[in-house]
Each structure stands twice: as C-alpha cells, then as structure tokens.
Structure 1
C-alpha cells in the first residue's frame, strides 16, 4: 500500500506531452489581474491624453439637448422610447472607440501571457464542478486564501491611489466650492483620471507576483506521478513487449530478405568487420552496378555468411564499404565518385571467375 502511494504521488515535473495536452484543454498559467490592470491603464491613459475632452464635450451636448428639447416633450411612450434611443446612440458613439481599444488591450495582455491559443474546452459542461465537496475544498484551499489576500491588496492599492492623488492636489480640492460648475467638473474629472492611472499602475505592479504565482500553481496542478510518466511513455511509444516483438519481426524480415537477395550478388565488399555491401551488375536492369543488400555488425556478418555458403567473392575495401553503406540505399546505383573503385573490384572478381 505504501509503495502504491509513493507511485501515485505527484512529484515529477510535467512532460512536454502533458504540457501540450493541458494547453489544448485551456489549462494554462494566466493572471486575470494582468488583463484587468492593463485595460484600466490603457483606458485612463486614452481618456487623459485623447478621449477625455471629447467625451466630456459630448456629455455636455447630451445634457444640453436633453434639457432644452426633451424636457418640453409630453411624457408618452413614443417620446420616452425616442429619448432612450437617442441617448443610447449618442453614448455609444462616445464610448465605443474607447471600449474597443480597452478590449484590444485586454486581448494583448492575454496574448503576452499565453500566446496564440483558441480552445472551447473550458466552455464544456463538467459535472464535477457542481460537486459540493470539491466546491468546499476550493473555498478553503490555499488558492482561495491567495485570492482573498489579492482582493485585500487591491482595496489597499486603490485606496492608496485615492489618498496620494488627493494629498498631492489638496489645494485644488479645497477650492472646488469657490469655482463654477464647469471648472469644478473639469477638476474632478482630472483628479478621477489621475486616481485611475495611479491605481492602474499599482494594480499592474500587483499583477506581476500574481502571474508568477499562477505559473507556480499551474506547475503544481500538472505535476505527474512516476506511474503517470510510465503510462504516458507506454501510450506514446507502445508497450515494451510489443516493441520488442515488432523489432524481432522486422529483424526476421530483414534477414529473410538478405537470404533472398545476397545469393544474386556478384561481389560482397567489406571493411572487413563492421560493414558489408552486396553489389550486382546487370546491364539489362541498370547502367551501373547497384546495391542488392547492405548491413552493419550483425547484419554484415549475416551477409558474409550467406556469401560464403553460395561461394560469392568478398573483397575488403574499407573506404568503399563505408562510403557505399553511408551514401547508398538498397537498389541505388553507384555514383561517379565510386565508379573507379567499383570497376577495379568487379574486374578482379570477373578475372577470378574467369569472365572476359
């Protein structure tokens, strides 16, 4: 029982295949705080530098139009519907560009963390998520405590941003009561934007350790046991017994082919120990000598044994044997680099056999 527990304990780093499978399922290290902070930062920067005055002017126009035109209209269903349609359309024109840029910033934050990835697996219904026992475990888990700590830090950071901006502009705040409504509105808007930018920067700083924690937690979640690694290896590479039988079958087929092809050779070229190449020259089939069979170590010894049994000449030529073994496959013709050496070997064999 103890040995089984150790075998099932998740102590090993995830294999590349495990990581790839997890990524396909959408199980990736990602901090949502990075996206949120980046979206807030971009939104407030755009408001501060470009969109703020345009949106403020647009809101002024909407308010003026509402008070000057719609205020004198009768309260009827068509008039109210027209009012809401007009206000909704005008508001959409004002904020849609800003919202589009903000969404792009969030997408860019996701791309920075996970790269290009599209999967629908996280959207699938999983009944285990409805398990109340597992839900209770998630509530009282270390991850829940981390999320609680993050929430508290966010409140502290946003509060700090408000205090910092108010403290640095305390004189303008105290003089608000002495300014007209338009100037006060501009001042409040500027202060709100500064608070937003400072808060976004602080949240970005907080998002860095959160991303590091998410990576650590992800690595912990995808850890594997020694048994998992063995099972994956068996699945990927096949059962060792089956692989052994497959190799044995391949060896038997190779040896059978050698027994069939080597007796047809004109000569066996050896190096003399490790390599053996069987050559055949048949003008009816090819313009140059071609390889009937080749082998290294055990296969080379098998070729030489078959050659001795069928009285096929064997010629020792270290360079030629190694070169042909490395550069030619079965049925390949010898190339120009080997012509001279092969011609000398064949001439010697033909002379030995009494051919003219």
Structure 2
C-alpha cells in the first residue's frame, strides 16, 4: 500500500512540475521520429517552386539556341517550302506527327531538368518519407471553429504576406524588363521568325531568371520560418518528457522495486548457504564472512556469504542456530570482506591465515566428539 501511495505521489509531483501543460522543452529524438512516421515534416513549398523555376530557366537558356534552330528548320522545311496544293489530309497528319516530335525534342529536356530539381530539393528538405497518416480522414478537420482559427492564424498571415510580396516583385520585374526592351517590340514586324523568337526568348529568360533569384531568397526565408514553426509544433512539456523517459527507460519506481526484490532474493539465497559453512569469521560485530571448504572438490575455501552490520548480525544468528563455528578474527574478517566476493575462492595470500582458522575449527569439532 505504501508503494502505491508513493507511486501516486510521484505522478502528482510530475504533474505539478508543469501544471499548465505548457510546452517548453525541445522535442526528443523519439518524438521527432514519431512525427516523421506520421508525415509531420517541415518544408518550404516556396523554396521548391523557386528552385524548379530557376532550374527550368537555366535549362531553357542552355537549350535555347538549339530550340530556335530546330524551330527554324521545322518552319522552313514543313511550312514555308510547301505550297497549298501539297497540303492535303495525309500531309496534315504527317505534319502533326512532326510537330509532336519537335515539341517533345524541345520540351522533354526542360521537363527532365525541372523534375530532377524538384526531387532533389524535396529530398534535401525532408529526405525520404512514406506515410499514409496525412491521407487518413480526420473529423476535426471539418470543425468550422478550427477552420476559422487556421484562416486567421499566424501561418495564414505569413502566407498572405508572401503572396503579396511575390505578386509585387513579379509585377515590378516584368515592368522594368519590358520598359527596358520597349523599343524592340515595334521591330518584331520586320524581323524574321527566328530572330523575333530569339529576342522574345531572351526577354522571357531574363524575367524568369530575375524572378527566380528573388523567389529563392523568399524560399530560404520561408524555409527558416517553416523550421521554426515545426520546432514549436513538436515541443514537449516537462511531463511529456518524463513520461517518455519512463516508457523508454522504465518507470524509476518500478525499477527500484525490481532491484529491491532482486537484492532480497539474493540475500535469501546467501542466508540459505550459511548453514553449510564450516566457519564464520567475524570482526566481531561489524563484519561476518562465512567460508566453506570441501577438500575433494575445492582447490581452496570458498566465500559463501558475507555481510556488514545488520547482515553480519543475521549471518552470526543463523550460524549459531545451525551450530556453525564462529571465530573472531577482525583483521582476517575485514580483509576477506573487501577482497573476495560471494562465490570466490579465498585469495592465495590469505591461505595461511584461513588454514589456521580451519585447523582450529576441525580441532574443536574433534574434541566435541
């Protein structure tokens, strides 16, 4: 009953440590692993978009000369050099296939680069995560009160600020680039198709490149914000940390009780060996060491029990009850207590002293008979 009361007292103390349940402690590795298994990871969607935009822009810039050349060859070969007489349904179908081929030839490298960029930036942010937790239906998501809280939450305000910033930056960049190249636009009428495409493409790439740089800066800032919010979301209270420690390492009260039971069982086994002893050497009150010697099976006398203070008293008491000889030899008792454990043979340097004690015991037993 006392142990039960103590257990509840400890739990009340744990609750008292953090009665408000305020989460003030950093998440433990176990908490982080559990959150990851549930799919709770942090990443910046803006950083993903910015990297994909930059990768696509660089891919377009790298393949742009070949793109213009291929389109120019296609136009001259299949459109400009053909007359209306030759343009029948068969040629239209053939032209459709060739158009699909040229589009694939131009677009596929860009798509491949952006796809790899998306995989890379996602992996760098969250690693490899497989979880179906996010797909599990949750009724609390239908709660209108919680929905309003999310709409007017800190995260929603940050997302609104980012959206306004991106719209403003994008508009400003497009305006400045077009303003800088405004004098070129009327000349498109007199330009060849390939030249017009080259100029227009360079303008688009310039806009995309500048926007991409700004978006990457926004993405990095958003990544820091997402990390901060994630760390706050998985923080733990002091009580949760202690509860987790109890689950992983074991309840300290239970472990203490187990150790106590083990010590009691060990003591009982040791006391059960005392009646088998040939002699108990004492201090006479502070130490007691019980020795057993069987010449046919033992190389030297063996320590089968030892104790200090109360245990020494119990060993002497059991020895007296079973007519085991008790010999007072303080120096030998202390030396045996500190140099030999239960089950050990007597150290060689004590053979002589122990032999003299055993000889005395055997002599006393012979006189008794």
The alignment's TM-score, normalised by the length of structure 1, stands at 0.71
In structure 2, the partner of 1:351 is: 356
Please, which runs of 5 or more residues in structure 2 have no aligned partner?
1-14, 282-286, 320-325, 363-369
Within 5 Å, give how 1:237-252 maps onto structure 2. 237-239=249-251, 241-252=253-264
| CA displacement, residues 313-336 of structure 1 (integer Å, 9 cap, x when unaligned) | 854459973xx77xxxx87x89xx
Q: Is the 8 A contact 2:292 2:304 kept in 1?
A: yes
Aligned counterpart, 1:160? 172
Is contact 1:279–1:290 with CA below 8 Å preserved after alignment? yes
Task: Please state whether the residue corresponding to 1:11 is helix, strand or coil.
Answer: coil
Q: 1:354 is paired with a residue of what secondary structure?
A: helix
Deviations 1:203-254 (A, max 9, x none): 1111122112112222232233455445444544555554443333233223
Q: How does 1:76-115 map to 2 (within 5 A)?
A: 87-88=99-100, 90-115=102-127
Aligned with residue 44 of structure 1, among 53, 57, 82: 57
Moved more, 98-107 or 309-318: 309-318
Q: CA deviation at 1:187?
A: 1.2
Residue in structure 1 matched with residue 8 of structure 2 by the alignment = none
> Secondary structure of 1:95's match?
helix
- Range with greater deviation from structure 2 (301-310 or 191-200): 301-310
| 1:151 positional shift | 0.6
The separation in 2 between residues aligned to 1:261 and 1:152, in whole angstroms, is: 85
Per the alignment, residue 42 of structure 2 pairs with 29
Answer with 12-21 or 144-153: which moved more. 12-21
Instruction: For 1:134-213, list aligned pairs within 5 A.
Output: 134-166=146-178, 169=181, 172=184, 175-213=187-225
Contact 2:59 2:109 in 1 (8 A): no
Secondary structure in structure 1 of the residue aligned to 2:49: helix
8 Å CA contact 2:51–2:121 kept in 1: the answer is yes
Distance 1:278 1:52 in 2: 95
Aligned partners of 1:57, 1:98: CA distance in 2, in Å?
16
Aligned residues: 329
Query: Could you list the runs of 5+ residues in structure 1 that have no partner in the other structure?
Result: 270-274, 335-340
Whole-Å separation in 2 of the counterparts to 1:174 and 1:225: 67
Structure of larger gyration radius: 2
Which stretch shifts more, 104-113 or 203-212?
Answer: 104-113
